Amino acid sequence: MHEMECRVLSIQSHVVRGYVGNKSASFPLQVLGFEVDSINSVQFSNHTGYSHWKGQVLTADELHVLYEGIKLNNVHHYDYVLTGYTRDTSFLEMVVDIVQELKRANPNLVYVCDPVLGDHGSMYVPENLHPVYKNKVVPVADIITPNQFEAELLTGKNISTEKDAVEVMDLLHKMGPDTVVITSSDLPSRLGDRFLVSLGSQRTLMPDGTKSTQRVRMEIPKVDAVFVGTGDLFAAMLLAWTHHYPNDLKTACEKTFSVMHHVIKRTISYAHELAGPGRKPSPPQLELRMVQSKADIEDPAIVMEATVLTL
């Protein structure tokens, strides 16, 4: 790997204990050689899947103050911005302002956005975030990682076939981002009902000025457990692997999904070990085994193969 000074501004949640938001993204990115500057959009004791949580929430004004400090020292040159779960429209709009300003300073900056709106047909953020993502955030994003529900919401089009999914990804490209990965869908897997389907699409500008699109499909083994922080890890790993394989979505997805597989596998076997036979693991037992997965993050054995779609 060539020596790189690649700097990421990651604006996400922070938890004292466990792995979600910046805690899920920073370590893996650092292991892969990225400098990570973190702004913690919240500071909680732990994620909200536990019985109790306490903490503070950063306001849009407080976000602006932190960014101003970075700017006053003239150290606001970033190669990437990474964002995830947000509950507040004014905070999200401030993020957009920051991204636009950073892109003016560095036109090559890549904004990786997980547009967290909900899943399985229901929203788990306030509804007024939907238009902000659709009209302001997605247009300035370069890489987005929605699930099927979020992709449908952002485009207003339902996905019931692979063809629908490709059309939705094309619509998302038209809105701005050159790379779209639908992280999970309800499409039937060719490998049976114990797998779910993920799809990706990447538009590349060719030397002659035309755009070519690579589309891939992956079959992902389902896991019978609820993990928190996996989406944040996914977006961070897609950032890292698209950086190393900029025009090869197939390899970037294989690396990213393989990392996810190794981390989740290690987490689930540890959780079951802790919980004991026949007992359901608790949220603390299901915290991602991030540090223990360092070698897999750095150099994942490829256990997932992407199929290139020919349409």
Q: What is the mean pLDDT of residues 244-255?
A: 97
pLDDT reported for residue 1: 46
Q: What is the mean pLDDT of residues 290-301?
A: 98
pLDDT reported for residue 42: 97
Q: Which domain holds residue 55?
A: 7-309
Helix spans in 22-106 (H):
22-31, 60-72, 89-105
pLDDT reported for residue 207: 87
pLDDT per position as a tens digit, 123-141: 989 999 999 999 999 999 9
Is residue 45 classed as helix, strand or coil in its secondary structure?
coil
- Is residue 217 within 8 A of residue 309, CB to CB? The reply is yes
Residue 138, token pair as written in the block: 């997605």
- Is residue 86 within 8 A of residue 95, CB to CB? The reply is yes
**pLDDT higher than 80, residue 116:** yes
The CA dihedral of 56, 59, 65, 66, to the nearest 10 degrees, is 50
Task: Assess if residue 65 is contained within a domain.
Answer: yes
Task: Assess if residue 213 is contained within a domain.
Answer: yes
Share of the chain above pLDDT 90, in %: 94
Task: Assess if residue 1 is contained within a domain.
Answer: no
Number of independent structural domains in the chain: 1
pLDDT reported for residue 286: 97
pLDDT reported for residue 3: 60
CA distance 111 to 129: 18
**pLDDT higher than 60, residue 109:** yes
Q: What is the mean pLDDT of residues 32-44?
A: 97
Average pLDDT, the chain: 96
> Which range has the worst mean pLDDT, 34-43, 116-125, 284-293?
116-125
pLDDT per position as a tens digit, 61-75: 999 999 999 999 999
**pLDDT higher than 60, residue 291:** yes
The whole-model pTM stands at 0.96
Which sequence positions are flagged as catalytic? 232
Task: Assess if residue 2 is contained within a domain.
Answer: no
pLDDT band, residue 4 (cuts 50/70/90): low
Task: Assess if residue 183 is contained within a domain.
Answer: yes
The CA-atom distances, in angstroms, between 128 and each of 88, 123, 185, 290 are 9, 11, 24, 34
pLDDT reported for residue 209: 86
CATH number at residue 125: 3.40.1190.20
pLDDT per position as a tens digit, 197-238: 999 999 998 889 888 999 999 999 999 888 999 999 999 999
